[in-house]
Amino acid sequence: MTSLLADIAVNAPVRNLFSYRVPAALAEKLRVGARVQAPFGRRSIVGVAVRLYQGDGSELKELRDCLDEAPLLDDQLLRLLRWAADYYHHPFGQVIKNALPGGLMRSSGQTGIATEYLYRRINRDICPAGRRQQQILSWIEQQGGAAAGQIRAEFPSPTTVLKRLVELGCLEQSEGERLRDPFLLEPVPSDKQLTLNDAQQQALEQMIDALSARRFQSFLLHGVTGSGKTEVYLRAVADCLQQGRQALILVPEISLTPQLVSRFRARFEPLGEQIATLHSGLSGGERYDAWRAISRGQVNIVIGARSAIFAPLPQLGLIIVDEEHDGSYKQGEGFRYHARDLALVRGQQQPCAVVLGSATPSLASSYRCEQGSCTLLLLPERVHAGALPAVELVDLRTEALRGVLAESLITAITTALEQRQQVLLLLNRRGFAPFLLCTDCGTSFHCPNCEITLTYHQRRRRMICHYCDYQDQVPDICPACRGESITPQGAGTERLEEDLAGLFPAARIARMDRDTTRTKGSHQRIVNGMMAEEVDILVGTQMIAKGHDFPNVALVGVLGADSLLNLPDFRCAERSFALLTQVAGRAGRSLGGGKVFIQTYHPEHFSLTCAATHDVEGFYQQELPFRRELGYPPCGHLVNLIFSGNNGDQVNNSATQLARRLQAVAGDVEILGPSPCPLTRLRGKYRYQILLKSPSRPPLRRLLFAVDNAAAELPRQVAIHIDIDPLDM
Ligand code: ADP
Ligand code: ZN
């Protein structure tokens, strides 16, 4: 007897779908794309119905419930997710889970987010006695209120303390109320009416052609910082909305780009358009709210980070990927997708226009343009103040350092400060010093979980692992020789800040890195300080190279450029070039004629010489032959297989055994390794990798099924992760 059957993708590490019989009571309600509750072994599990059909269900179990009135995922989105599951070789159900707002695929089936507790400071005259109580209370006050989940992320097991604070009457607890999106609290600037320059006009016209034809076309909008890319985005989005379609704008880290969000709001809110932002700062409930508003068609503009590529926009007409070269578009764990690459796929499926924008396009995107599959649009000049800054490579082989700064840079800072201009200094390493060393016996301090040294943080008086956040006290005496000569080695942003305070006692110095931007609003406070010219020197990690436009910065200094060049990764030249060019572009934005100093022992390296001359094309021409010769992307394709487990020998043996089995069926695919991962030990796990390399994708894909078969025979204690198109290896 035939009945209605459903194929379900479940949130579990399994590749296959599971079939169930749909009980008569649910047959009316259930749609493809809705969540269901299903019996699974002895448990109950949440899945998504991905296919409904008639068939013989006598052997099958029945679904328990349907959890959504309307499908969460429409056909378009399901198609994208299925493509992604297939391409990234990742279980479909887990791909779906990644795309949905957090919590929706939990086995309870409840969204579990409507009932989140929110806490707000009240009765400021009541002061609790306990230190932990005070800490949590003042943190909540600083945040202007917080949800239970956010508090738990900062303080382990806070429940009893919170309960006590509520009893004491200094915290108010409420339930289910939505926290306001921080972006919507930002003041909206007034919109500027601009006349596009010729380059902007030409770029826009090509985009509008594709938009009007409602066809897929991808564009690489290559424009130096300040060349007016954002203005072109705004115009293209306006055109897209006029057609009654929706726009999706991806940014690398939305918390670093509040200015972009404000500009979109300034342009479109007066027209009655609502803008939704999707980012990691939202609670599960807020994401779910945004998600529903988007899928109901109430919102036509979505701005978000990586995972917003899965936003449920039924009438999508335009996808913009800003700073397309940015590595944070690739998810580093679990479902390792690349949002820029998926943007191109989604654009093709839709079909719609896709605009990739950057001042330093990735080699991958430049290569696509060269191959003719992407249209290159150039904005060659800055809108204001024409000239790009002059870049000087400071040769540390011949020039002396005072502390961590070269004499010529110190002189330049002195001059800039005298002229009341702002200075930006990049040192891509937070903390005071990368490690502590006993200069008597040579002892240094390593993370017990990861194979790296602990970074010395002076202000917090701790040694901290930057990978797993392990922390330890700084010893006064060396545990090995009992000597008292433990000294910080090398420099991080904290030390640079201290050195500067010594050299320029009158200067107002601020620091921007992950340590100083932990709390809500702190990043914005630093940016505001720079804008209001209450800061003379801003020190920071690569964060300072991103997004913002500080008009009064005249001088940029880069320290530690060499450590960028010496990473064991074939992309390190590309990354250094992009970072240096981006940070150099921060100088002289409104004044023109800014200056940049890059301290280096390798002033002849082409990453540096090309960055010094803002020569993106020259860099591409020098880097590409090297990639071609070695078969690296974009001229070849890679898959990384990562093995991890608690027993190093067992992990290594498993990887070796699997590599041997793959060799037998490899064909054209080159099998490299196994070799220890760059971080051989991470969070207590030993890690080895096998790199698969091939000039074309099909043989690589075929080999993945051999990997699956072989992996099934590995010991259970060894986990294997497949990373397609890896960025970090
Ligand atoms: P990008 O995104 O390439 O860094 P922006 O779009 O932010 O550049 O433009 C830099 C500055 O120039 C902004 O303040 C913007 O308002 C202004 N601008 C952009 N296009 C024009 C134009 N055609 N005429 C005048 N000002 C412009
Ligand atoms: Zn660690």
What residue has token string 């601009």?
Answer: 194
pLDDT grade for 455, boundaries at 50, 70 and 90: very high
User: For the segment 369-380, what is each residue's pLDDT rounded down to a tens digit?
Assistant: 999 999 999 999
User: For the segment 382-397, what is each residue's pLDDT rounded down to a tens digit?
Assistant: 887 667 788 999 999 9
Ligand 2 center–CA 729 separation, angstroms: 18
Neighbours of 518 (CB within 10 A): 10
Q: Looking at residue 180, what is its pLDDT? A: 42
User: For the segment 516-547, what is each residue's pLDDT rounded down to a tens digit?
Assistant: 988 877 888 899 899 999 999 999 998 888 76
Q: Looking at residue 211, what is its pLDDT? A: 97
The 10 Å CB-count burial string (b at 16+, else e) for 237-250 is bebbbeeebbbbbb
Residue 250, SS3? strand
pLDDT grade for 177, boundaries at 50, 70 and 90: very low
As a three-state string, the secondary structure of 347-394 is HHHCCCEEEEEECCCCHHHHHHHHHCCCEEEEECCCCCCCCCCEEEEE
What lines the ligand 1 site, CB under 6 Å?
Answer: 192, 194-197, 200, 223, 225-231, 383-384
Average confidence (pLDDT) over 329-355: 97
From CA 393, how far away is CA 599, in angstroms rounded? Answer: 6
Taking CA atoms only, the protein residue closest to ligand 1 atom 4 is: 226
The ligand placed nearest to the CA atom of residue 251 is 1
Lowest mean pLDDT among 97-111, 191-205, 640-654: 97-111
Ligand 1 center–CA 225 separation, angstroms: 9
Ligand 1 center–CA 79 separation, angstroms: 37
User: In whole angstroms, how far apart are CA 589 and each of 230, 472, 539, 605, 690?
Assistant: 15, 43, 18, 26, 45
Taking CA atoms only, the protein residue closest to ligand 1 atom 24 is: 194
Mean pLDDT rounded to a whole number for the chain: 90
Select from 549, 540, 551, 609 the least CA-distant residue to 581.
609
pLDDT grade for 596, boundaries at 50, 70 and 90: very high
Structure tokens of 658? 């699997």
From CA 654, how far away is CA 495, in angstroms rounded? Answer: 43
Q: CA angle 23-25-29, nearest 5°?
A: 100
Residues around the ion ligand 2 (C-beta < 5 A): 447, 449-450, 465, 467-468, 470
From CA 498, how far away is CA 494, in angstroms rounded? Answer: 6
Lowest mean pLDDT among 186-195, 448-457, 458-467: 186-195
pTM summary value: 0.86
Choose the most confident range, by mean pLDDT, from 35-44, 165-174, 644-653.
644-653
ipTM for this prediction: 0.97
What residue has token string 């804008």?
Answer: 531
Burial of 74 (0-12, 13-18, 19+ CB in 10 A): middle
pLDDT grade for 452, boundaries at 50, 70 and 90: confident
User: For the segment 472-511, what is each residue's pLDDT rounded down to a tens digit?
Assistant: 999 999 999 999 999 999 899 999 999 999 999 999 999 9
CA 408 to chain centre: 35
Q: Looking at residue 385, what is its pLDDT? A: 63
Whether pLDDT at 549 is above 80? no
User: Between 169 and 598, whose confidence is greater?
Assistant: 598
Average confidence (pLDDT) over 695-708: 93
CA of 383, closest atom in ligand 1: 12
The ligand placed nearest to the CA atom of residue 221 is 1
What residue has token string 């899928």?
Answer: 295
pLDDT grade for 176, boundaries at 50, 70 and 90: low
CA of 231, closest atom in ligand 1: 6
What residue has token string 């060393």?
Answer: 437
